[in-house]
C-alpha cells in the first residue's frame, strides 16, 4: 500500500509541475527564479493535498461523487489561496499573484481530470 501511495504522490507532483510550469510560461514566466518559485510552491503544497485525497479515497473509501467533488474543490481553493500568498511575496514576472495561482491551479486540475478520463 505504501508503494502505491508513494508512486501516486510522485506522479501527481511530476504531472502538476509539468502542467503548472507550462501554464506559468504561457502567463509570462521567463526568469529562472519565477520558474523555480513555481516548482518550490508546488513541492510545498502538492504532496499534502495529494496525501489527503489519496487517504480519503484509499483508507476512507471516498469515491467520486458529490461529496468527493465538494472536498476536492474546497481543498483546491485552499491550495490556490496558499499559493497566491506565496506568489504575492516573490513573483517577479508582473502577473497578479492571485490570478496567477488560480490559472495555474485550474490548469493542473483540468489536466488531472482529463488525464483520469483517458
Could you report the per-residue pLDDT of 22-37, keeping only the tens digit for each?
999 999 999 999 999 9
Tell me how crowded residue 92 is: count the other CB atoms within 10 A of its CB: 11
Q: Which residues contact 105 (CB under 8 A, 6 or more apart)?
A: 20, 76, 79, 80, 83
Q: pLDDT band at 56, cuts 50/70/90? A: confident
pTM (global) more than 0.95: no
Residue 43: all three cell numbers together:
513541492
Q: What residues contact 77, with CB distance under 8 A and at least 6 apart?
A: none
Amino acid at each position: 500500500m505504501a508503494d502505491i501511495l508513494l508512486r501516486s504522490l510522485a506522479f501527481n507532483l511530476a504531472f502538476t509541475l509539468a502542467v503548472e510550469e507550462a501554464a506559468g510560461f504561457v502567463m509570462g514566466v521567463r526568469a529562472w527564479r519565477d520558474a523555480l518559485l513555481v516548482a518550490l510552491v508546488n513541492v510545498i503544497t502538492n504532496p499534502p493535498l495529494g496525501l489527503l485525497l489519496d487517504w480519503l479515497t484509499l483508507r476512507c473509501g471516498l469515491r467520486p461523487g458529490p461529496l468527493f467533488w465538494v472536498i476536492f474543490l474546497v481543498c483546491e481553493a485552499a491550495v490556490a489561496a496558499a499559493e497566491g500568498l506565496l506568489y504575492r511575496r516573490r513573483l517577479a514576472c508582473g502577473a497578479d499573484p492571485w490570478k496567477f495561482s488560480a490559472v495555474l491551479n485550474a490548469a493542473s486540475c483540468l489536466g488531472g481530470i482529463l488525464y483520469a478520463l483517458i
